Structure 1
Amino acid sequence: MQQPIMRLPSFNSISACWAWLALQELYRLGVEHVCMAPGSRSAPLVLQLQHVPQVKVHVHPDERGLGFFALGLAKATGQPVAIITTSGTAVANLLPAVVEAAMTHTPLIVLTADRPPELLGCGANQAIQQPGIFGAYLQYETQLPVPTVEVNPAFVLSTIDVLVSQAMSSSQQGPVHLNWSFREPLYEDVTDSSADNTFSADVVLQPLSRWLTSTQPYTQYTQCFNKTLCDEISGVLESREVESAASAEQMMSNQYGLVVLGAGLTSADVAAIMVLAEHLQWPVIADVQAIGLIGEHPLLLPQHSLWLGHPAVKDWLGQTSVVFQFGTHLIAKALLNYLQQYEGNYWLIASSLDRHDPNHRVNFCVQALPEVWCKQFIQQLLPRTPSSWLNTLQQFREPLARTVLQQLPQEDDLISALAIPVILKDDLPESGILFAGNSMAIRLLDAVMGSRPTWQLFANRGASGIDGLLATAAGVAQGLGKPVTLFLGDLSLLHDLNSLLLLKQLNSPLVVIVLNDDGGGIFHHFPLMQQVRQDYFTAAHGVRFQAAAKLFSMDYCNPKRVADFKHDYQAALNRKTSTLIEINTVNEQAYQQLQILRKSVEACCNRWFNQADSNVTAK
């Protein structure tokens, strides 16, 4: 047998041997980060991590935060991240992160240690029913038995291979689960081996001679998947009799259209989409999850959540006969309402198989990589010239920008909720990274950020929960190796407070901006009586976060004026350690500021589009 190309550890048990094989195979398959929580039943796996030194190990005592940290790492790197936990409720605590990973197609490799079969269902300590615990939120689930010399160890390698292949499926990525039974002794590999120990790693690993002298996975999966289907577009259009079109060009010619960008797009996707939009001379509306990748572009219609619901705008956009939506989830209710009432041809082009049509309006759905699809689709089209209809929409950007600017807080003003997205728009570095919390935080960003030099936004918008946001942002910062700004609400921070412990591990600082309006300010958007809102929905707490910052050794700022916030944020960006910036406001302020802003924009829409209609009538 050839000598192994890596140095084999000295194994005293079959459990240690199998655990090392699994971890080594994970690394060969591209897993570079392992997130683990301390626990006894998972000791055979954890003890072998030191023998796979290429893998970066992240330790956190809370499995719920650990799962979200792994989620952030996977989002940032685009690579699968492994999670190791002990048995019992430790596994159950991963469910929220697994749900979010499933709904955003993020590859997580969940490795859960379990009791052996004889200790299940009989009252043994820390033993629950772990298989199936994640329900429908997995790409794949399997079980490894208690390690034994009677089973070919290639079984371990091939199991890991199919596990990672399913997580990284070209058609749809997502979380997978391997539940693994271990029998005591669990720490045999770190104790003195007994004289009668007859375990021989050389004998056990004999069937793996080829693998041991290679750097490749045991089984390599290749997926051939046609993502573009562009050569079939014309035929499909003919079969559906869309506008009686014989080709894509005939369908698109002499028609007004709209390009919509949703979540899940890459910078390469967005670049190709904008080339297509230029070719078609169609305006672009981008969800806040995608707008940062566009930068400043003349076809982009920014801050759509402020004006898209206006009747005059709807009438003007009523001339649109085709909508192309690229990507998945959309946030702004104004955009969702517009698409709900839209009755023309609605195309959805996304890389995932999921249904992203809450209004049930899509009549042509293409599973494709948007970048590749746009490049091929554009070959079927002739370039078009701008229309007066498009010019009206583009020229509306200037009065819109003036109107919004007049209502935004100025540097001399007292601090307020709306000041946060204002300063972020101005001071977030070019190509900067922003993680948006859910509820009010992402809505404030959606209303204000608009057009500016490129930046990138991360968010947990699969299930849109307020849990795990801090941990996910920490994972993004660690995965990218760059400073990240997190903007979230007070309830979100309280929900994930112990994840502040993760910030000590980061190589790049996280700037945490918390809007503390003493509870759920989002509920002012709903038709609730004031007393009912206070008693059952707001969840007022009276908590300030300075003590939490001190507890976790973070820099802390509590600015009182907009200028102070601007200074504190710039200083935080230049630190090598993480900073917590707390913005205190009254509970209803964010809602009231958005209402005032929308009313000003409504008046602007009245003036602009009524004038545009008059000009069209005069002609």
Structure 2
Amino acid sequence: MEQQIINNIAEICHQHGIEKAIISPGSRNAPLTLAFARHPKIQCYSISDERSAAFIGMGMAQADRKTVALICTSGSAALNYAPAIAEAYFQEIPLLIITADRPPEWIDQWDGQTIRQENIYGKHVKKSFNLPVDLTHKDAQHQTYRFVNEAIIESSSNVHGPVHINIPFREPFYPEKDAPWKYDNEVPLIKKFSGTKSLLTSEIKSIQDELKQYSKIAIVLGQEQYENEFLIELDHITQKLNIPIYADIISNGHRLKNAIHFTDTIGLRILKEGNHDLIPELVISFGKSIISKNLKLFLRKNVNTQWHIKEHNAFIADPFQAITKQIEINPQYFLAVLNKESSQQFLKDWKDQNDQVSTITNKFLATQKFNEFSILADLIDKIPDKSNLHLANSLSVRYANFIGLKNRTAIKVWANRGTSGIDGSTSSAVGHAISKEKEAHYLITGDVAFFYDRNAFWHKYPYPNLKIILLNNHGGSIFRMIKGPKEQQELEEFFETEQRLEAKNLCNEFGIAHFTAEDEESFNTIKDRFISYPQSALLEIKSDSKINQKIFEDFKNQFKS
């Protein structure tokens, strides 16, 4: 084992701008652990649970918009990274995954902590590199440095995403006690420079000529880390051209004047009514996924022409089954090309729908007895401006989308909607909170997602700026809301999966202040104190899943009838 070569890998990472590394303890990865932990310019965090570690690192990379390194030992440790890697791949978050491996002669030989790690993440990483096991020859060293350079560049080039480096190690793993230690400032470094994509004059003319035939144009804003300059220009151009913007909660488009916030509820309403005046002739989409299922169904059923605008694409995504143009250009540049006014009446019709739904929603929520949907609306309204709102998957993100942020322009929303799994929602929020320690963070989560990811707190790093709103209805209540599982006799045991856990003991273990609300009176007593509490805190909302089900169904039925 050539420790100096491994030290130089850490130095290359530093010189490429990697500032943070998440390390899970192990022996096979000891050379990497020492190289990164001793580097004076890389902040390292020790997180024992690899699944949680990867989501925490992903949250940091998302918050900082920089590549974060993940380092683990061999065997199943590497497999535990997989959920976060898949999420990062589809959310386009840059990660550098470095896994220690056994040498090739021991693969498939019943040796401990030995699995088949080469290309272990398959198509869920942008690229995978397997380093040579013998690094003594200068050509092997040159290849190693080239691979590391290429991996880091790849993580943040074009479509950002995770990249994997697998390093087989033979013993010994540890240097002698007083062995000299250094980092080579003159390590081989490869830099990449690339320009911004633009359109040819002929392509611009073709787009503008086709725009002339459409009188009802709408924009879909999917999940993306949009530049502020783009949102400002989008706000300006859509007001000028009378274009409605379908902006559900994960789009962070709630600040825009023409934003249609209640996309899911309106979609539910117009699917039932079949209002042809609200059907766009052209949909122009930005970003990635949307949460609003009913809007998706409405567009899928009625729209024939969609243009998707994104500078770099890993694949052609066609969620509305209507895509006719994939325009690869900087989104802000495209706005300069967009010169066709949409119908004023079309915009007015959508805004009227938005206002009507807002009024009905507020009135409904204000008149219900104690339940998690109404309580959540109250709490979201109290979250301070300039906070980060993290939404766990399953019911939490859906509730929030139906409630909406309306004009809460300074709140930024985050959600793991790449794969939409529940597995790392808390860990991702913790990564954000640690990374952006001067900002306030609020996580809304259900009990199954929360307890599934309890190891998000199993480390020594403080997160006094994180508050958690836990909807504890003692099971996966979303299955009561879905046609299909709710009608099956196996609902409670195999779909809802009833559990009796409470968060108080967990909070005691990890030093989190615990608040509980079981009825209207207790909630009103503690809600303001929870929101303003100066340290990390958790508010556990205990409610009846059957009451929650009925209230949510009553809410949606208003728009179906």
- The match for 1:428 is 383
- The match for 2:396 is 441
Q: 1:371 to 1:313 in 2, by over 3 A?
A: farther
Counterpart of 1:287 (choices 248, 253, 256) is: 248
Structure 1 residue 505 corresponds to structure 2 residue 467:
no
Counterpart of 1:262 (choices 222, 231, 238) is: 222
Partners of 1:593 and 1:465 lie apart in 2 by 25
- The match for 2:357 is 400
User: What are the residue-to-residue correspondences of 1:78-227 with 2, within 5 Å?
Assistant: 78-152=65-139, 153-170=141-158, 172-189=159-176, 191-192=177-178, 211=186, 218-224=189-195, 226=197
Partners of 2:91 and 2:449 lie apart in 1 by 20
Shift of 1:87: 0.7
2:497 maps to amino acid: A
Partners of 2:256 and 2:234 lie apart in 1 by 14
User: What are the residue-to-residue correspondences of 1:432-471 with 2, within 5 Å?
Assistant: 432-454=387-409, 455-471=411-427
- Length-normalised TM-score, structure 1: 0.83
Check whether the contact 1:131–1:179 (CA below 8 A) recurs between aligned residues: yes
Partners of 1:135 and 1:182 lie apart in 2 by 22
- The match for 1:241 is none
Shift of 1:260: 1.4
Counterpart of 2:54 (choices 37, 56, 67) is: 67
2:67 maps to amino acid: P
Q: 1:103 to 1:539 in 2, by over 3 A?
A: same
Shift of 1:540: 0.4
Shift of 1:300: 2.1
Partners of 1:17 and 1:295 lie apart in 2 by 51
Shift of 1:597: 1.8
- The match for 1:321 is 281
- Length-normalised TM-score, structure 2: 0.92
Output one character per residue of 1:411-459: Cα deviation in whole Å (capped at 9) or x when no partner: xx75411134312431122222111111111110010024122111111
Identity %: 23
Shift of 1:276: 2.6
Output one character per residue of 1:584-614: Cα deviation in whole Å (capped at 9) or x when no partner: 11223333222222233456xxxxxxxxxxx
2:552 maps to amino acid: L
Structure 1 residue 591 corresponds to structure 2 residue 549:
yes
Structure 2 residues without counterparts, runs of 5 or longer: none
Check whether the contact 2:125–2:162 (CA below 8 A) recurs between aligned residues: yes
Partners of 1:20 and 1:177 lie apart in 2 by 18
Aligned to 1:308, the other structure's residue is in SS state helix
Output one character per residue of 1:18-68: Cα deviation in whole Å (capped at 9) or x when no partner: 111011110111111100111001111111224312111111111011011
How many pairs were matched up? 553
- The match for 2:331 is 370
Check whether the contact 1:307–1:598 (CA below 8 A) recurs between aligned residues: no
Aligned to 2:371, the other structure's residue is in SS state coil
Partners of 1:436 and 1:582 lie apart in 2 by 15
Counterpart of 1:488 (choices 438, 445, 449) is: 445
Structure 1 residue 251 corresponds to structure 2 residue 213:
yes
Shift of 1:369: 2.8
Shift of 1:101: 0.9
Shift of 1:389: 3.7
Output one character per residue of 1:140-175: Cα deviation in whole Å (capped at 9) or x when no partner: 1111223533225444332211011111112x1111
Aligned to 1:309, the other structure's residue is in SS state helix
- The match for 1:532 is 490
Partners of 1:600 and 1:565 lie apart in 2 by 27
1:462 maps to amino acid: G
User: What are the residue-to-residue correspondences of 1:579-618 with 2, within 5 Å?
Assistant: 579-602=537-560
Q: 1:367 to 1:478 in 2, by over 3 A?
A: farther
1:350 maps to amino acid: K
CA RMSD of aligned residues (A): 2.5
Structure 1 residue 418 corresponds to structure 2 residue 373:
yes
Check whether the contact 1:65–1:471 (CA below 8 A) recurs between aligned residues: yes
Counterpart of 2:318 (choices 357, 366, 369) is: 357
Structure 1 residues without counterparts, runs of 5 or longer: 1-13, 194-199, 238-245, 604-619
Further displaced range: 446-455 or 88-97: 446-455
Shift of 1:188: 1.9
Shift of 1:565: 3.9
Counterpart of 2:262 (choices 265, 285, 303) is: 303
Aligned to 1:79, the other structure's residue is in SS state coil
Partners of 1:230 and 1:418 lie apart in 2 by 50
Partners of 1:339 and 1:386 lie apart in 2 by 18
Shift of 1:576: 4.3
Aligned to 2:281, the other structure's residue is in SS state strand
- The match for 1:9 is none
Q: 1:391 to 1:126 in 2, by over 3 A?
A: closer
2:326 maps to amino acid: C
- The match for 1:242 is none
Q: 1:543 to 1:367 in 2, by over 3 A?
A: same
Partners of 1:173 and 1:317 lie apart in 2 by 39
Aligned to 1:229, the other structure's residue is in SS state coil
Check whether the contact 1:421–1:449 (CA below 8 A) recurs between aligned residues: no
Partners of 2:156 and 2:403 lie apart in 1 by 36
Counterpart of 2:7 (choices 20, 23, 29) is: 20
Check whether the contact 1:60–1:66 (CA below 8 A) recurs between aligned residues: yes
Aligned to 2:319, the other structure's residue is in SS state coil
Shift of 1:562: 4.8
Shift of 1:249: 5.1
Shift of 1:272: 2.6
